[in-house]
């Protein structure tokens, strides 16, 4: 099974900050990686797919990069609506999610 | 507009069975990859099961042999039959549409509580 590890687990940041979240796979997954945003009590929303493609409707301040085993999600300028939990998901071999990164207000 | 609405959740005793339904609109369930994902209270997301448009099914090891994913073309509905339920199956269950294994639309989720 492919394991996905996100870091950090919690991140404190201020509006306007540049934020980076990392996701590591236990084996190579090519570029078969997605990022989701989940707000409390709501379903997740797709932000990024195929490691770096921005989903239609997702704000352009979100970007993704990486391939193989190491991936990053970057928020270029954190907005009030961005305080949420973010999950990576590999879909190279079945599907596995990372444990999540909670972005909190500093 | 794509919509997914889950139903059938609730409180069930350990060892019991429950069937979740997911009514879809705005697209055809049988023409898409459909997935169930769950989230235990205060925890992260866990992939549970997927059904291909061609009908092949896949399960997480944690539910294999106990859960069955299926669909009804005439009702445009996805199902998850859950048998031999355990306390650790307690979670919000999300129905989701996939672009193959990538998930692009999620339902609002339905809570299943396994407790005596």
Q: What is the pLDDT of residues A87-100, one digit of tens each?
A: 999 999 999 999 99
pLDDT on residue A33: 98
pLDDT on residue A100: 98
Cα B21 from Cα B24, distance rounded (Å): 10
Q: What is the pLDDT of residues A25-38, one digit of tens each?
A: 999 999 999 999 99
Check if B103 contacts A (Cβ < 8 Å).
Answer: yes
pLDDT at A106 over 90: no
Residues of A in contact with B50 (CB under 8 A): 94-95
Residue B73, Ramachandran bin (φ over 0: left; ψ between -120 and 50: alpha; else beta): alpha
Q: Which of B75, B57, B67, B55 is nearest to B91 (CA)?
A: B67
Cα B30 from Cα B27, distance rounded (Å): 9
pLDDT on residue B10: 97
pLDDT on residue A63: 98
Chain B: nearest CA to A36, how far in angstroms? Answer: 9
pLDDT at A68 over 90: yes
State whether A95 and B106 contact (CB < 8 Å): no
Q: What is the pLDDT of residues B43-89, one digit of tens each?
A: 999 999 999 999 999 999 999 999 999 999 999 999 999 999 999 99
pLDDT on residue A87: 98
Residues of B in contact with A96 (CB under 8 A): 47
State whether B102 and A49 contact (CB < 8 Å): yes
Q: Going along chain A, which residue ranges are E strands?
A: 4-7, 10-13, 19-25, 33-38, 45-49, 53-54, 62-67, 70-75, 85-90, 96-97, 101-105
pLDDT on residue A34: 98
Q: Could you tell me how far CA B107 lies from the centroid of its own chain? A: 10
Check if B57 contacts A (Cβ < 8 Å).
Answer: no
Give the closest of B44, B104, B108 to A97, CB-based.
Answer: B44
Check if A97 contacts B (Cβ < 8 Å).
Answer: yes
The whole-chain average pLDDT of chain B stands at 97
Average pLDDT over residues B7-18: 98
Q: Which residues pair with A38 in a beta bridge?
A: A85
């Amino acid at each position: 099974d492919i394991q996905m590890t996100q870091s950090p687990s919690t991140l404190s940041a201020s509006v306007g900050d540049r934020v980076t979240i990392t996701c590591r796979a236990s084996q190579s997954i090519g570029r078969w990686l997605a990022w989701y945003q989940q707000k409390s009590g709501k379903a997740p929303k797709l932000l990024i797919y195929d490691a770096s493609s921005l989903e239609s409707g997702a704000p352009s301040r979100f970007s993704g990069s990486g391939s193989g085993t190491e991936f990053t999600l970057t928020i270029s300028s954190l907005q009030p609506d961005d305080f949420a939990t973010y999950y990576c998901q590999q879909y190279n071999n079945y599907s596995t999610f990372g444990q999540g990164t909670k972005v909190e207000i500093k | 507009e794509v919509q997914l609405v889950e139903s059938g959740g609730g409180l069930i005793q350990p060892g019991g069975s429950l069937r979740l339904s997911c009514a879809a609109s705005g697209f055809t369930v049988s023409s898409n990859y459909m997935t169930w994902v769950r989230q235990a209270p205060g925890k992260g997301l866990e992939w549970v099961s997927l059904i291909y448009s061609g009908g092949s099914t896949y399960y997480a090891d944690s539910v294999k042999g106990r859960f069955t994913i299926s669909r009804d073309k005439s009702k445009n509905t996805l199902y998850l039959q859950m048998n031999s339920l355990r306390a650790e199956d307690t979670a919000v269950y999300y129905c989701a549409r996939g672009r193959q294994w990538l998930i692009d639309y999620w339902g609002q989720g339905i809570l299943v509580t396994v407790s005596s």
